[in-house]
Structure 1
Amino acid sequence: MKNSILTTLLFSFLISTLAGKAQEKDLPRIAIAGIATESSTFSPALTAREAFRIRKGPEALDAYPFMVPDSMVRGRATWLPALVAATSPGGAVTREAYESLVQETLDSLKKNGPYDGLYFDIHGAMSVVGLDDPEGDLIARIREVVGTETLISTSMDLHGNVSWRLAKNTDLITCFRMAPHEDRYETKKRAIVNLLDRLESGQGKPAYKAWVPVPILLPGEKTSTRVEPAKSLYAKIPEVTKQSGIIDAAIWIGYAWADEPRNHAVVMVTGDDRIQVGEAAENLASSFWKVRSEFGFVAPVDSLTGSLNKALASKKRPFFISDSGDNPTAGGAGDVTWTLKKILERPEFKSKKGPSLIYASIPGPELFKLAKSAGLGQKVSGYVGAQIDARFAPPIKLDGTVEGIGEKAVVIRVGSVRVIVAHDRNRNTHFSDLGLDPLKTDIIVVKMGYLVPDLYNMRKDWIMALTPGGVDQDLHSLDYRRIQRPMFPFDKHQFEPDLKAKWIPASDEFVPSTYPR
């Protein structure tokens, strides 16, 4: 009897194990790869390899909150991440950094293939010294390793750029639908689920990819989905994707602070019904073009002097001012001292009894170290800023008192101004970590364009100061030489662009060398 029971249990165990292995074998094998950043070519800054956070192998899955081990998405495939690298926006990536990251990616992909699918996780606005369209270059080189049969799904920032080459070599593609990007992970998950669905159903590559370049180049601060017309424009997308013959639809604003031919808006729709895909792409592109003149700044704007005057006169607290021209979240160097210099010169802030103002922030590694060593309440003196971008003002010497010490930043009080001095430009310090209470502060100046959600919800009033820097909001003042023309808003004369759908060949379809690259 005991032998019979043991035999039965052993047989059940073997059947269960074999079934599990069979199920695992049937799961699609999916790679993950991508290099993501946003690069201003109008900034003197350069981005080296050390600036990237690099995740390899299973560690890369930690970048996606929806991919925890017991998640439904995680269990639908065997995941084989190669390399996922990302860094904060900044200047152009050095060629050495780019090539080293690409080579590591390709080496890893070669080791773990073959693949049924690949998730291509990029921003889409990376610039590399001496190389046009790095994302298009990267995906083309990945294709040489994984082959043309592998299904590739791409997710992007809506401020990215979609070149013909990128569109050709990807199969499924989508981008954020919100600016600020509160749907960041929702979008990444959508790209992965679209990939899984097409693999599991056996449908594979979409039959049609419609691509419509739209000759518009505008900054993100004029195209926020918080306000019209972008709010209604992007609201059209969910209805489009409900059509049975459409997989996904996306609108890219494009990235305004890089001077490359690919930098302009794009609409792209993928699916299996040619008529639905084509009409959807053309309708979205036409809708975009029709409202081109309605785009305006997401907040009131003024000169720095005008912005400070309005903040001082206002009774609403805290009053936020965006130091928009050196916004490091869009590609500015983050160390331009012009605005801080002007603030410290104002007589209103010379005394400790003046209006309270927080300036967030300026890098000053030496003063940061000195303040941490000196301690709270101590007097310190040192230079900050303008180590990368000194075109508009030199480094500033701060003579003040240490009022806050954090792991990555300190607070130096000069008169009634509390300057957050960071150890580098990539700071993520919260006000509370430094003992600051923004809700009890009169004016808060941030190196930012449109406010991120937590600051937006905190503000009682807000204005964008039009200040100089690598992401200057006055696009007409920038020295564009290579963008395609005519382009709105640079060319004021009336012109009617070709907004017909361009049919992008499938990634496994041979195209002659006369096609765009």
Structure 2
Amino acid sequence: MIEKKPRILITGIALEASTYSPARTRIQDFVRRDGQEILDQYPFFAPGHPVREAADWLPLVHFRSIPGGSVPSADYTEMKQTILSAVADALDEGPVDGLYFDIHGAMSVDGVDDPEGDLLLALRGLIGPDVLVSSGMDLHGNVSWTLAHQLDIPSCYRMAPHEDWLETKERAAANLLERLALPEATRRPIKAWVPVPILLPGEKTSTRLEPAKSLYEEVAVIAGRPGVLDAALWIGYAWADEPRNRAVVMVTGDDADAVASHAGRLAADMWNRRDEFRFVAPSAPLAECLAAAEASTKRPYFISDSGDNPTAGGAGDVTWTLHKLLEHPPIAAGTVQAIYASIPDPAAVDHCICAGVGGSVSVEVGARVDGTQSGPARLDGIVEHLAQGDPVAIDEAVIRVGGLRIIVTRRRKPYHLESDFLRNGLDARTADVVVVKIGYLEPELFDMASDWMLALTPGGVDQDLHRLGHRRIARPMFPFDDGGVAPDLSARLVPASNQPAGVER
């Protein structure tokens, strides 16, 4: 007798969004994938892989965008209805056993405090309470009580930068298959949930250094303990002002005492080490970073323009740092050779294309979306390079002004790879200073940098959270409050998704 494979749906919306950026992430900013396109993203869904062969995977529709601003309500509703319609069609073909809920966990939607929870509740209305739901989230996501209740098998990354993201996505799929192989009465793991009143930017919680390094090592140890299925620690997302924004620990398994004790202990460890969190690199205002770079003999010297980091939700076109670089005498005179990556401005790119390589241009760039810090920057320079066909930037132009080479793009793009520079005719290794709109350096840039600093610049993902003015997060919250009163870090056992949610306590 041939054993019937479980039928598992795949869908979701993945976005990290800042409520402090004036940018909006519209539906056209998302990459929509349907059917096979979804499976093609993940090696573990390739034919012949054990995960792929263990189930009948039903990829429906998925939306993903690079981080940005909040999603307008109408755009979210349109994506939500598209997903629900696809699920309804799939259910017409027969019942399903599981849902692979592919999300980031820090999407913000105008007027909706918990979009991922809202979407999963709507999906539950179609698939019912008995279908198992698994998700491998970003550790900068948020886990509300609603999401903790509706998710049967939650998990998240254990590294920042997220070098284990594919491993986590595969673990979420493997965990789902493992539980679906059990008798229906014992499939749902017990879930322990502990909110931790800490809200910190990712640049202070990188697993490259303590205390995050050992905390996440402990997550992996707990996941291997008897009676435990998986363990997760979400740092949370610091640049949104919503009640769910905070750190969360969850442990799942079949032993209630074990999952509760492990979750409570890990939460207590994080709380007790809260004062140890530091920036992943030396940090200072931009002027001090430039002075340190010029005084150093190490080349290239990288500087992160952290306040407008598009990989964290910044608009990407804040010009505050660019103005400072253009005004900086050693760069203006060319005695310091610098690269700035990047600034989006479609009109400026069109001017560069018309001028051609070697042509002179006088264009204003940036501050079209986020002009809260400064206005557009005027570039009077020479077009040194043009590139077309990048899937994110679309078109790129390099404008040289004095000793500064500015990459101008048609669409907002983070620059994480050496090939991003080489494609634009720039050898970043020979530059004196490379300024990138990013927080902690992604692995390839980290390896390229002889030294680096994190510049504390303004923008929608400002590292100085006190400047942003959170008003709706739960209080007290570290580091906004002194933390003098110890919080209740006892584990809450979350009811199974097919049981009433109860009340968060």
TM class, shorter-length: over 0.9
* Aligned structure 1 segments of 4 or more residues deviating by more than 6 angstroms: none
User: Partner of 2:357 in structure 1?
Assistant: 376
Gaps of 5+ in 2: 389-394
Which one of the candidate residues 250, 267, 272 is aligned to 1:290?
272
Summarize the Cα distance change of 1:374–1:477 in structure 2 as closer, same or farther, 3 Å threshold.
same
Q: Aligned partner of 1:292: which letter?
A: R
- Quote how far apart the aligned CAs of 1:331 are: 0.6
Which one of the candidate residues 375, 378, 381 is aligned to 1:397?
378
Larger mean CA deviation between 374-383 and 271-280 belongs to 374-383
Matches within 5 A, 1:129-144: 129-144=110-125
Instruction: Determine the C-alpha separation between the residues in 1 that align with 2:441 and 2:248.
Output: 25
User: Partner of 1:7 in structure 2?
Assistant: none
Which one of the candidate residues 129, 132, 138 is aligned to 1:148?
129
Residues 35-83 of structure 1, C-alpha deviation per residue, up to 9 Å, x if partnerless? 0101111111111000000112222111212211222211111111122
Instruction: Determine the C-alpha separation between the residues in 2 that align with 1:207 and 1:98.
Output: 31
Matches within 5 A, 1:93-242: 93-113=71-91, 114-202=95-183, 205-242=187-224
Instruction: Determine the C-alpha separation between the residues in 1 that align with 2:474 and 2:446.
Output: 35
Contact kept in structure 1, 2:310 and 2:414, CA below 8 Å: no
Percentage of pairs with the same residue? 54
Instruction: Determine the C-alpha separation between the residues in 1 that align with 2:90 and 2:410.
Output: 39
**1:453 and 2:443 aligned:** yes
Instruction: Determine the C-alpha separation between the residues in 2 that align with 1:94 and 1:205.
Output: 37
**1:335 and 2:337 aligned:** no
User: Partner of 1:508 in structure 2?
Assistant: 498
Which one of the candidate residues 92, 103, 118 is aligned to 2:70?
92
Residues 445-490 of structure 1, C-alpha deviation per residue, up to 9 Å, x if partnerless? 0001100111001000000111000011111111111100011111
Q: Aligned partner of 2:406: which letter?
A: V
**1:33 and 2:11 aligned:** yes
| 3-state secondary structure, aligned to 1:257 | coil
Contact kept in structure 2, 1:58 and 1:80, CA below 8 Å: no
Larger mean CA deviation between 62-71 and 445-454 belongs to 62-71
Instruction: Determine the C-alpha separation between the residues in 2 that align with 1:298 and 1:350.
Output: 30
Matches within 5 A, 1:264-275: 264-275=246-257
Q: Aligned partner of 2:294: which letter?
A: L
Contact kept in structure 1, 2:134 and 2:154, CA below 8 Å: yes
Instruction: Determine the C-alpha separation between the residues in 2 that align with 1:39 and 1:425.
Output: 14
TM-score of the superposed pair, with normalisation by structure 2 = 0.95
Aligned residues: 492
User: Partner of 1:464 in structure 2?
Assistant: 454
User: Partner of 1:15 in structure 2?
Assistant: none
Instruction: Determine the C-alpha separation between the residues in 2 that align with 1:416 and 1:73.
Output: 52
**1:71 and 2:61 aligned:** no
Contact kept in structure 1, 2:353 and 2:386, CA below 8 Å: yes
**1:59 and 2:46 aligned:** no
Instruction: Determine the C-alpha separation between the residues in 2 that align with 1:481 and 1:502.
Output: 26
Residues 366-407 of structure 1, C-alpha deviation per residue, up to 9 Å, x if partnerless? 111221232211111211100011011101111111111111
Query: Over the residues paired in the alignment, what is the CA RMSD in angstroms?
Result: 1.4
Gaps of 5+ in 1: 1-18
Q: Aligned partner of 1:139: which letter?
A: L
TM-score of the superposed pair, with normalisation by structure 1 = 0.93
Instruction: Determine the C-alpha separation between the residues in 2 that align with 1:451 and 1:233.
Output: 21
Summarize the Cα distance change of 1:112–1:290 in structure 2 as closer, same or farther, 3 Å threshold.
same
- Quote how far apart the aligned CAs of 1:427 are: 5.4
- Quote how far apart the aligned CAs of 1:205 are: 3.3
Q: Aligned partner of 1:444: which letter?
A: V
**1:410 and 2:397 aligned:** yes
Contact kept in structure 1, 2:342 and 2:413, CA below 8 Å: no
Larger mean CA deviation between 181-190 and 378-387 belongs to 378-387
Greater Rg over alpha carbons, structure: 1
Instruction: Determine the C-alpha separation between the residues in 1 that align with 2:43 and 2:442.
Output: 20
Q: Aligned partner of 1:461: which letter?
A: D
Matches within 5 A, 1:214-363: 214-351=196-333, 353-363=334-344
User: Partner of 2:432 in structure 1?
Assistant: 442
User: Partner of 1:5 in structure 2?
Assistant: none
- Quote how far apart the aligned CAs of 1:516 are: 4.5
Contact kept in structure 1, 2:312 and 2:461, CA below 8 Å: yes
Instruction: Determine the C-alpha separation between the residues in 1 that align with 2:464 and 2:407.
Output: 27
Matches within 5 A, 1:480-499: 480-499=470-489
Instruction: Determine the C-alpha separation between the residues in 2 that align with 1:264 and 1:30.
Output: 31
Residues 335-379 of structure 1, C-alpha deviation per residue, up to 9 Å, x if partnerless? 00010001101111223x421100000012111122123221111
